[in-house]
């Protein structure tokens, strides 16, 4: 995603452009002799590309789209599957009820889909059904919320919660590095979630590099507009002045910005999280306290479809010499600012 224009597809960024196929890579690393070039090409791994190949039926099961990011996950999966004439997508109705989601996955197993993509409502609770699919010979692409056992999936792809906090902290640190006794506050997500804890740890670790900065307050919200507004109002009342705010989630950030506007505060900079279109629009305007957002890209669902297709066609991925796709892919949490927002706007979720 950080490579150039918005027209560059997520597939091109994850899998490498056509110009950097595994064969080309191997040839470049060996010799310019025609005979050796031909041998390198012969030995190159089969690479998934956009040309129609073996028909693949992909089953997709995710949680209920009760959040902008989760809705974007579903949209990315559907739109990516439509790109391929050789892919049929069997998508379930999302559910946050683990028993219901387990039943939906079992239905897909019984339909004998070729590959499963699962974003579990609860990774631990759905581990057994992931194992069931793998034992039935159906490879599983585990999307974001990880199963409790690596035996329950063939490949995991997801975001980097620790890296999200780390990059938010470094961005804020660089903005405030010349200010003495700088103060920051944090509007976190649900504290009982490991992802929230990881984001906070990354943020705190980054701030250790800036001895002039001290975190003076933290409130946990629950990823909704309403909670963001209420908890931000509490922070603003408790802290008469501070220099920067990191908000873990752009959905709750809509509420946080309302509270900030109602309080008439503009004496600090704000960094968001996840990559909502509303946040990117505010960043682009240049008139908001929101100056950046750290991505947790929902485009991972599109990449999961790419990986599932490659698995179903027994192919590797471009840019790598291996015959198999990797067992895990952790996506980078890019920082979106006014300087690069146009590049990332097409990935923003509503």
What tens digit of pLDDT does each residue of 90-134 get? 999 999 999 999 999 999 999 999 999 999 999 999 999 999 999
Residue 290: band (very low, low, confident or very high) from pLDDT cuts 50, 70, 90: very high
Q: What whole-number percentage of the chain has pLDDT above 90?
A: 81
Residue with tokens 């890296």: 163
- From the list 304, 281, 277, the residue with the least C-alpha distance to 159 is 304
Residue 28's contacts (CB-CB under 8 Å, 6 or more residues apart) are: none
42-81 pLDDT per residue, tens: 556 688 888 999 999 999 999 898 889 999 999 999 999 9
Residue 171: closest CA among 340, 349, 344: 340
- 26-43 per-position pLDDT tens digit: 333 333 444 444 444 455
Nearest to 244 by CA among 183, 189, 334: 183
Between 239-248, 281-290, 311-320, the lowest mean confidence (pLDDT) is in 311-320
Instruction: Please provide the DSSP assignment of 133-145 as one string.
Output: HHHTT--EEEESS
How far is it, in rounded angstroms, from Cα 183 to Cα 203?
14
DSSP code, position 19: G
Of 193, 133, 165, which is closest to residue 294 (Cα–Cα)?
Answer: 165
Q: Which of 83-92, 127-136, 310-319 has the lowest mean pLDDT?
A: 310-319
CATH 1.10.3720.10 is held by the domain 161-296+337-347: no
pLDDT reported for residue 45: 67
Residue-level pLDDT at 43: 55
What number is the average pLDDT over the span 207-224? Answer: 97
Tell me, what's the pLDDT at 22?
34
- The pair phi, psi for residue 321, each rounded to 5°, is -85, -15
Q: How far, in Å, CA of 211 to CA of 99, rounded?
A: 48
What pLDDT is stored for residue 23 in this prediction?
Answer: 34
pLDDT at 44: 60
Average pLDDT score, the chain: 89
Tokens linked to 349: 């979720």
What residues contact 134, with CB distance under 8 A and at least 6 apart?
Answer: 140, 151, 152, 153, 154
Q: How far apart are CA 103 and CA 349, in angstroms?
A: 29
Residue 267: DSSP 8-state: S
In the chain, CATH 3.40.50.2300 covers 56-156, 161-296+337-347
The pLDDT of residue 204 is 98
Q: How far is Cα 317 from Cα 313, in angstroms, rounded to an integer?
A: 11
Sequence-distant (6+) residues with CB within 8 A of 178 are none
Beta bridge partners of 91: 60
pLDDT at 301 over 60: yes
| Other residues' Cβ atoms within 10 Å of the Cβ of residue 231 | 22
What is the rounded average pLDDT of the residues 160-184?
Answer: 97
CB-CB contact of 139 with 116 (8 Å) = yes
Going from the C-alpha of 255 to that of each of 80, 147, 164, 227, 228, the distances in angstroms are: 31, 32, 21, 7, 5
Who contacts 24 (Cβ-Cβ below 8 Å, separation ≥6)? none
pLDDT at 16 over 50: no
Is residue 254 pLDDT above 70, yes or no?
A: yes
Other CB atoms within a 10 A radius of the CB of residue 178 amount to 8
Where in the chain does DSSP place strands (E)? 56-61, 87-91, 115-118, 140-143, 155-158, 182-188, 213-220, 244-247, 269-274, 290-295, 328-330, 335-336
Q: Does domain 56-156 have CATH number 3.40.50.2300?
A: yes
CA distance 305 to 326: 14
């Amino acid at each position: 995603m950080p490579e150039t224009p918005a027209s560059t597809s997520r597939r091109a960024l994850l899998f490498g452009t056509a110009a950097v196929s595994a064969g080309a890579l191997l040839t470049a690393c060996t010799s310019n002799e025609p005979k050796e070039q031909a041998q390198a090409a012969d030995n190159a791994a089969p690479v998934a590309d956009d040309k129609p190949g073996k028909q693949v039926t992909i089953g997709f099961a995710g949680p209920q789209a009760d959040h902008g990011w989760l809705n974007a996950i579903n949209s990315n999966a559907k739109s990516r599957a439509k790109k391929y004439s050789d892919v049929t997508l069997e998508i379930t109705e999302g559910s946050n009820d683990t028993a219901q989601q387990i039943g939906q996955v079992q239905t897909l197993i019984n339909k004998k889909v070729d590959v499963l993509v699962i974003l579990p409502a609860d990774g631990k609770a759905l581990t057994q059904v992931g194992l069931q699919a793998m034992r039935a010979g159906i490879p599983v692409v585990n999307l974001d919320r990880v199963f409790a056992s690596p035996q329950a999936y063939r490949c995991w792809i997801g975001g980097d919660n620790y890296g999200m906090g780390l990059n938010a902290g470094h961005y804020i640190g660089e903005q405030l590095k010349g200010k003495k006794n700088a103060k920051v506050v944090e509007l976190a997500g649900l504290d009982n979630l490991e992802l929230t804890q990881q984001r906070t740890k990354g943020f705190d670790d980054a701030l250790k590099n800036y001895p002039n900065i001290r975190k003076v307050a933290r409130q946990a919200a629950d990823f909704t507009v309403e909670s963001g507004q209420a908890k931000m109002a509490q922070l603003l009342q408790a802290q008469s002045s501070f220099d920067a705010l990191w908000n873990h989630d752009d959905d709750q950030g809509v509420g946080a910005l309302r509270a900030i506007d109602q309080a008439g505060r503009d004496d600090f900079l704000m960094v968001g999280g996840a990559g909502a279109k509303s946040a990117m629009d505010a960043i682009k305007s240049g008139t908001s306290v929101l100056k950046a957002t750290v991505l947790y890209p929902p485009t991972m669902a599109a990449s999961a479809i790419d990986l599932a297709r490659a698995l179903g066609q027994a192919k590797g991925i471009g840019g790598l010499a291996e015959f198999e796709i990797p067992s895990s892919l952790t996506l980078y949490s890019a920082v979106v600012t006014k300087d690069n927002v146009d590049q990332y706007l097409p990935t923003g979720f509503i």
